[in-house]
């Protein structure tokens, strides 16, 4: 990793390509926040690689003046695994969407998380297929009426956070396009994490699924419906931060903190997998009565699992120190030879 | 009774028994001892797909055939001179592979009521008793009983004792064919270093087999097979998959690039992975991915990062990799794709050989997506062609298909292996960094081979984006421009076509430069076709044989070669694939000769067919 003497700016990370997402798309904000945080890492831009699959979000690498690959549907995770394994010196980012990572690329996605190379995944979740013009996605709510499901979709949605925890991901977070500061904080934490960072971003598709996350972003509902988790702090939410989450054994309950119960509130611990699992299940339909707010922030971090590329290359080094660098002549001769005169 | 010594030019022996019986192992031991004696040889294992098929049944029969001799041996032999059968099912399956009057060495214990029932042979039709083997020289031995007797008091259990049975047969064959026991004893002692009782038992039974030949009067004949007149040099034995791995490693050394092999296990290609994974100290990095697609995609990632990237599979796996091969073609990155072909379509017959993925390699992708295709023709040739696949991929910055097949992948032959210093260098240069570059970097400029620069992530001043969308020439930016698309399609085709300037000309493997009939083949059929052509020439026919290793593009002189023969036959283990391409490219009225049985050609059937064609039957 090289150190820079002069700090780069967001502009240094913008390519000469005209950005071609629909006006008003949530992708613009994500691009801007990434271009804003990258200079803070103090590394030259040639050390960053953005790899994407297929979908609206996957155009992202073209707009970054870094190395990049706009690959094929669902496979960015596998390509990134190959690159990071062989080039641990690079900062590798996967840009993907809900269809790309959870439908066609679902297999590679879970296996990337299980292997845990030091790759950052930005999962743009807009709960719809945008590029193919409006079919339901694996994160769409059941009953979604779209071009391909005029009577409503039948399948239940994936919960990307729960799925990632189930695959033993070592960094699992959620942020949203409308909150630049929160995004930047999460991206920095994801970058710093040594292992795969799975960052789900609620991203509005204003053409095919406008307002999907309105309830979490609009003034009137935002404070009631969102729970911003901070390590070491109690889980609080509500219009006037009047509500909190308490754990009754393993059962979470919503309590009114104005009634003097503030002391036994659930204190967020990013390293507690059990609690992260419970939080990941705060996935209720907001229309339900007594539903839980939707958590944002870092659900879980595990710094104790070695990144895949380290284990991968350690074996190579171990083999070299144990057996010495390979001798091709010896290898070609094999164990048994004979001479013909 | 004195034994009669006879000298033979070549012998074919087939070992057969239950797949759990260790027939492959016995065959390999016999092969090693034979190779050390200086005979030329070729082997062919024939095993069921099931790891442990029901014991004693026809489905569970495993075979291993070796052809060795004092002359050049091109194939594992059509039919065998000696058939070893450890049970009734093995006889049922393999009798048709034995020559008329051939020797059958029978383990009589494998023909009891139970074994006959398992083989679905009614007891009254026991072939050892009903006279059906009258045309053969049957040697009935109760191998099980002799082995148990020899090891009585060894303290080993019945199971362990019975596992030594193969050693008896091996010892007997060593006696019959004058092979030394030394090498096998050395192997046994090293393999069972930690279990001297087992080692001792195996050696004891091996000696018992030898002594049985020496002392009983059952075997009146011993045979000498003199060392073959082979090109002087140092030799070793090699199997095809092993040779592929060695070729890739050699290319890694000669290109000074670490090798990355992303793959997913599949029969019959997995041994390439097994072999490569042993040599991490050569900077060989193997990744067993979650599926076939991830196998190739991790390799594409490694290629982007500057590794010599390879993926390997067999037909069904290659089908899954198709889209990614298209991506690699668009990216114009070097990538080697090894297809160890097996009988298809779909899952087909995983352990059986076929050459039916040629058109898949040529055309099996969406859009205009040409790739280089080359094929290995024998186990040892897998080394050369794997090395070549890497060389072409790296020098021309494109994907290269290497086709082998189950027959040569598992077959073995002596190999006069090269020295590192005699292998060509594969020069690779990456695009150089640019200080304070103001102008945009152009990743799709080209050299005289039309190869684009390999600009590695991490290199200053070369940041660029590549991808599967159509590229604008030079800049690599996304382009939907109609003229540009046509130009890029043509460039990618031309890039493959230009490879013809960097490959050897087509040679004839035997026969004159012109004549009545040219037999064309490719891949693992080399030995059978060459042998057949040789026999036809001896019979006075004006026949030649050419075996094509470079299939896309073809060698420059191929078209002209085809014109010098009155008839051209394309012999393939498929329903006619190369023949289509040759007809298309050269307007040649080629005759298709095909076999699609999951089995290699027998040279005798090729001879027969060619005679028919030559005489217009």
Give chain B's length: 617
Helix/strand/coil for A274: helix
Same domain, B210 and B258: no
Comparing CA positions, the residue from A189, A272, A180 lying closest to residue A235 is A272
Rounded-to-5 percentages of helix, strand, coil across chain B: 40, 20, 35
Distance CA B227, CA B414 (A): 12
Domain map (residue ranges) of chain A: 10-212
Question: Tens digits of per-residue pLDDT, A111-133?
Answer: 999 999 999 999 999 999 999 99
In a domain, B174, yes or no: yes
What CATH number did the domain enclosing B205 receive? 3.40.920.10
Same domain, B79 and B219: yes
Q: Does A260 touch chain B (CB under 8 A)?
A: no
What CATH number did the domain enclosing B404 receive? 3.40.50.970
Q: Which helix (H) or strand (E) holds A44?
A: none
Which chain A residues are closer than 8 Å to B439 by Cβ? none
Res. A262 pLDDT band, cuts 50 70 90? low
Answer with the residue of higher pLDDT: B546 or B3. Answer: B546
- Among the three residues B201, B224, B247, which one is the final residue of a domain in this structure? B224
Res. B53 pLDDT band, cuts 50 70 90? confident
Of A68, A326, A340, the CB nearest to B230: A340
Q: Select from B39, B262, B298, B460 the residue whose CB has the most chain A CBs within 10 Å, as the one to mutate to test that interface.
A: B298
Res. B309 pLDDT band, cuts 50 70 90? very high
Res. A178 pLDDT band, cuts 50 70 90? very high
Distances (CA, A) of B285 to A329, B204, B220, B289: 20, 43, 55, 12
Of A61, A82, A340, the CB nearest to B298: A82
Res. B116 pLDDT band, cuts 50 70 90? very high
Which pTM was predicted? 0.94
**pLDDT higher than threshold 70 for residue A261:** no
Same domain, B343 and B408: yes
Touching B: A residues 85-144, CB under 8 Å:
85-87, 89-90, 107-108, 111
Q: Do A85 and B285 touch (CB under 8 A)?
A: yes
Residues B30-47, mean pLDDT to the nearest whole number = 90
Distances (CA, A) of B265 to A23, B290, B314, B317: 46, 10, 9, 9
Query: Phi/psi at B268 (nearest 5 deg)?
Result: -100, 30
Average pLDDT over all residues of chain B: 95
Interface size between A and B, measured as CB pairs under 8 A? 208
Q: Do A70 and B262 touch (CB under 8 A)?
A: no
Of A73, A90, A328, the CB nearest to B458: A90
At A62, list the tokens: 């073209």
Res. B305 pLDDT band, cuts 50 70 90? very high
Question: Tens digits of per-residue pLDDT, B402-424?
Answer: 999 999 999 999 999 999 999 99
Which chain A residues are closer than 8 Å to B253 by Cβ? 326, 328
In a domain, B471, yes or no: no
Count Cβ neighbours within 10 Å for each residue of A181-218 and write b for 16 or more, e otherwise: ebbbbbbebbbebebbbbbbbbbbbbbbbeebbebbbe
Q: A206-215, B149-158, B296-305, B500-509 — which is least confidently predicted?
A: B149-158
CA angle A81, A157, A142 (to 5 degrees): 155
- Among the three residues B395, B422, B449, which one is the final residue of a domain in this structure? B422
Distance CA B385, CA B409 (A): 13
Please give the pLDDT value at position B367: 98
Please give the pLDDT value at position A203: 97
Of A49, A54, A328, the CB nearest to B253: A328
Distance from the B489 Cα atom to the nearest Cα atom in chain A, whole angstroms:
19
Res. B51 pLDDT band, cuts 50 70 90? low
Please give the pLDDT value at position B407: 94
Strand order in the sheet with B80-85: B40-46, B61-69, B10-18, B80-85, B98-107, B137-141
- Among the three residues B224, B248, B279, which one is the final residue of a domain in this structure? B224
Q: Do B457 and A87 touch (CB under 8 A)?
A: yes
Instruction: Match 């076509």 to its residue by tokens.
Output: B497
Strand order in the sheet with B515-522: B543-548, B515-522, B565-572, B591-594
Touching A: B residues 178-197, CB under 8 Å:
183
Res. A42 pLDDT band, cuts 50 70 90? very high
Distance CA B569, CA B572 (A): 10
**pLDDT higher than threshold 90 for residue B22:** no
Helix/strand/coil for B576: coil
Helix/strand/coil for B40: strand
Q: Do B324 and A68 touch (CB under 8 A)?
A: no
Of B299, B307, B327, the CB nearest to A71: B327
Q: Does A287 touch chain B (CB under 8 A)?
A: no
Residues B283-294, mean pLDDT to the nearest whole number = 98
Same domain, B174 and B286: no
Q: Do A72 and B35 touch (CB under 8 A)?
A: no
Distance CA B352, CA B597 (A): 8
Residues B17-25, mean pLDDT to the nearest whole number = 84
Q: Does A314 touch chain B (CB under 8 A)?
A: no
In a domain, B431, yes or no: no
Same domain, B272 and B219: no
Distance from the A325 Cα atom to the nearest Cα atom in chain B, whole angstroms:
5
Instruction: Give the strand pairing for A243-248 and A251-256.
Output: antiparallel
**pLDDT higher than threshold 90 for residue B250:** yes
Residue A2, sorted as left (phi over 0), alpha (psi -120 to 50) or beta, turns out to be beta
Bond from prior residue into B553 cis (ω within 30 degrees of 0): yes
Instruction: Report domain A10-212's class.
Output: alpha beta
Residues B232-255, mean pLDDT to the nearest whole number = 96
Answer with the residue of higher pLDDT: B590 or B351. Answer: B590
Q: Does A49 touch chain B (CB under 8 A)?
A: yes
**pLDDT higher than threshold 60 for residue B462:** yes
If one counts the domains in chain B, the total is: 3
At A66, list the tokens: 């870094």
Q: Please give the residue range of the domain that contains residue B575.
A: 515-614
Comparing CA positions, the residue from B77, B71, B74, B436 lying closest to residue B63 is B77
Q: How many CB atoms lie within 10 A of CB A51?
A: 31
Q: Do B280 and A320 touch (CB under 8 A)?
A: yes
Q: What percent of chain A clears pLDDT 90, i.e. is strictly above it?
A: 92
Q: Does A20 touch chain B (CB under 8 A)?
A: no
Same domain, B217 and B273: no
Q: Do B235 and A340 touch (CB under 8 A)?
A: yes
**pLDDT higher than threshold 80 for residue B50:** no
DSSP A104: I
In a domain, B488, yes or no: no
Distance CA A300, CA A276 (A): 6
Residues A8-37, mean pLDDT to the nearest whole number = 96
**pLDDT higher than threshold 60 for residue A39:** yes
Q: Does B67 touch chain A (CB under 8 A)?
A: no
In a domain, B467, yes or no: no
In a domain, B231, yes or no: no
């Amino acid at each position: 990793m090289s150190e820079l003497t002069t700090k780069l700016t967001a502009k240094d990370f913008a390519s000469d390509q005209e950005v071609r997402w629909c006006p008003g798309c949530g992708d613009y904000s994500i691009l801007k926040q990434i271009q804003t945080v990258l200079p803070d890492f103090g590394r030259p831009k040639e050390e960053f690689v953005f790899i994407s699959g297929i979908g609206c979000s996957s155009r992202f690498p073209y707009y970054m003046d870094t190395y990049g690959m706009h690959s094929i549907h669902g496979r960015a995770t596998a390509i990134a695994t190959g690159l990071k394994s062989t080039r641990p010196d690079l900062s590798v980012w996967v840009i993907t969407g809900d269809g790309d990572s959870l439908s066609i690329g679902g297999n590679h996605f879970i296996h990337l998380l299980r292997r845990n190379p030091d790759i950052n995944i930005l999962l743009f979740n807009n709960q719809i297929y945008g590029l193919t013009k409006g079919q339901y996605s694996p994160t769409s709510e059941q009953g979604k009426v779209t071009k391909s499901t005029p009577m409503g979709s039948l399948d239940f949605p994936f919960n990307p956070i729960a799925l990632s925890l189930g695959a033993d991901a070592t960094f699992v977070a959620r942020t949203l396009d409308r909150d630049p500061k929160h995004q930047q904080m999460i991206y920095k934490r994801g970058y710093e994490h040594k292992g795969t960072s799975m960052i789900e971003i609620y991203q509005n598709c204003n053409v095919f699924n406008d307002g999907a996350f309105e309830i979490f972003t609009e003034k009137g509902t935002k404070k009631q419906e969102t729970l911003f988790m901070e390590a070491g702090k109690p889980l609080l939410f509500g219009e006037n931060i009047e509500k909190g989450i308490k754990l009754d054994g393993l059962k979470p309950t919503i309590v009114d903190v104005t009634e003097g119960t503030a002391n036994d509130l659930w204190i967020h611990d990013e390293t507690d997998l059990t609690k992260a699992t419970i939080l990941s299940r705060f996935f209720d339909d907001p229309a339900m009565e007594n539903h839980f707010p939707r958590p944002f922030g870092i659900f879980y971090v595990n710094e104790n699992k070695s990144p895949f590329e380290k284990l991968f290359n350690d074996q190579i080094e171990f083999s070299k120190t144990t057996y010495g660098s390979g001798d091709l002549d010896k290898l070609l001769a094999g164990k048994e030879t004979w001479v013909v005169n | 009774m004195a034994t009669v010594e006879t000298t033979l030019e070549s012998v074919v022996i087939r070992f057969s028994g239950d797949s759990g019986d260790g027939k492959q192992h016995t065959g390999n031991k016999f092969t090693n001892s034979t190779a050390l004696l200086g005979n030329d040889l070729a082997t062919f294992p024939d095993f069921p797909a099931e790891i442990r098929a029901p014991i004693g049944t026809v489905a569970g029969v495993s075979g291993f055939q070796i052809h060795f001799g004092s002359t050049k041996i091109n194939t594992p032999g059509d039919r065998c001179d000696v058939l070893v059968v450890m049970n009734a099912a093995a006889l049922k399956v393999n009798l048709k592979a034995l020559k008329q009057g051939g020797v059958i060495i029978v383990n009589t214990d494998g023909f009891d009521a139970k074994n006959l029932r398992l083989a679905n042979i009614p007891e009254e039709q026991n072939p050892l008793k009903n006279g059906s083997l009258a045309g053969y020289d049957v040697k009935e031995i109760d191998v099980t009983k002799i082995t148990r007797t020899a090891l009585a008091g060894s303290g080993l259990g019945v199971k362990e004792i019975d596992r030594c049975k193969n050693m008896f047969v091996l010892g007997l064959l060593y006696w019959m064919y004058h092979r030394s026991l030394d090498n096998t004893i050395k192997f046994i002692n090293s393999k069972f270093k930690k279990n001297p009782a087992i080692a001792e038992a195996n050696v004891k039974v091996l000696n018992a087999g030898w002594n049985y030949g020496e002392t009983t009067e059952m075997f009146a004949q011993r045979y000498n097979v003199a060392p073959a007149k082979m090109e002087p040099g140092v030799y070793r034995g090699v199997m095809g998959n092993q040779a592929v791995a060695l070729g890739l490693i050699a290319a890694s050394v000669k290109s000074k690039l670490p090798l990355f092999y992303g793959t997913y296990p599949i029969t019959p290609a997995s041994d390439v992975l097994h072999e490569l994974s042993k040599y991490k100290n050569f900077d060989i990095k193997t990744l067993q991915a979650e599926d076939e697609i991830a196998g190739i995609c991790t390799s594409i990632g490694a290629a982007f990062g500057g590794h010599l990237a390879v993926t390997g599979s067999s037909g069904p796996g290659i089908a899954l990799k198709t889209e990614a091969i298209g991506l690699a073609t668009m990216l114009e990155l070097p990538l080697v794709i090894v297809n160890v072909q097996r009988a298809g379509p779909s899952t087909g017959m995983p352990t059986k050989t076929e050459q039916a993925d040629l058109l898949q390699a040529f055309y099996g992708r969406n859009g205009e997506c040409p790739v280089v295709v080359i094929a290995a023709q024998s186990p040892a040739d897998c080394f050369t062609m794997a090395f070549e696949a890497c060389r072409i991929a790296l020098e021309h910055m494109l994907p290269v298909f290497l086709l082998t097949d189950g027959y040569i992948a598992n077959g073995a032959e002596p190999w006069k292996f090269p020295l590192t210093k005699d292998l060509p260098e594969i020069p690779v240069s990456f695009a150089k960094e640019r200080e304070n570059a103001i102008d945009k970097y152009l990743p799709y400029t080209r050299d005289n081979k039309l190869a684009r620069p390999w600009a590695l992530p991490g290199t200053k001043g070369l940041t660029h984006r590549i991808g599967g969308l159509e590229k604008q020439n030079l800049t690599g930016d996304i382009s939907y421009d109609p003229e540009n698309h046509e130009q890029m399609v043509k460039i990618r085709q031309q890039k493959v076509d230009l490879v013809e300037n960097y490959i050897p000309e087509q040679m004839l493997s035997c026969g004159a430069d012109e004549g009545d009939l040219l037999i064309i083949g490719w891949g693992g059929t080399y030995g059978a076709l060459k042998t057949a052509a040789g026999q036809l020439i001896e019979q006075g026919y004006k026949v030649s044989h050419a075996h094509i290793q470079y299939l896309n593009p073809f060698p420059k002189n191929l078209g002209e070669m085809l014109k010098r023969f009155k008839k051209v036959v394309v012999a393939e283990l498929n329903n006619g694939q190369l023949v289509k391409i040759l007809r298309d490219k050269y307007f040649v009225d080629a005759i298709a000769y095909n076999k699609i049985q999951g089995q290699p050609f027998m040279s005798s059937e090729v001879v027969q067919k060619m005679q028919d064609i030559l005489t217009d039957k």
